Amino acid sequence: MSDSRANDDLDINIGGDDRLGKTAQPKRKRLILIVSSLVLLLAIGGAGYFAIHKGWLFSHKDSADPAGQAPTQTTILAVPSIISSLDNGEGRPVYVKMTARVEIAGVQNEASLRRYIPQIQDIFQTYLHETRPQEIRGNGVYRLRETLLRRLRIEIAPLNITNFYITEFLIQ
């Protein structure tokens, strides 16, 4: 066999020529396109990050509460302890004792809020009576707090209830 015939059979591209004799071009266009798109994405991401942190994008401007205005005064209303039975499918009763405080904004004195205490206690009693002992265990106290806060805000709508504190919570 001759050396020229061996090179033809193996079709080795030693000089970078393909079969038609054209030299193979490096894929520079693809490389330039990938690099430029990465640079563009980084520039857009950096500009977005800067705009969000400067407050140009997604800024929360409260027109009702300007920075120069003093914060509203809040009053904390102490709700007396309530004892309620939980919804238990078994034969033995399960009781809960709960004491809470309700924070209300925009009211000057606690005496004007005393008339809402029976309504607040009724909201507590109704919800606790619907609740099962399994729903309170673990993180259930946090769900209980959020649900009672939401119900208080809905039921006692003219008052601006800002927070709800559980000061005592016992399960028997």
Domain boundary assignment for the chain: 1-60, 74-171
Contact between residue 168 and residue 99 where contact means Cβ atoms under 8 Å apart? yes
What does the pLDDT read at residue 25? Answer: 56
Edge-first strand listing for the sheet containing 74-85 = 74-85, 95-105, 160-171
> What is the band of 39 on the pLDDT scale with cuts at 50, 70, 90?
very high
Overall fold of domain 74-171? Tetrahydropterin Synthase; Chain A (3.30.479)
Determine the Cα–Cα distance for residues 172 and 85; give it in Å rounded to an integer: 10
SS3 content of the chain, % helix, strand, coil (to 5): 45, 20, 35
> What is the band of 100 on the pLDDT scale with cuts at 50, 70, 90?
very high
Is 5 strand, coil or helix? helix
Burial of 40 (0-12, 13-18, 19+ CB in 10 A): exposed
pLDDT digits (tens, 9 = 90+) for 111-157: 778 888 899 899 999 988 888 888 888 888 888 889 999 999 888 88
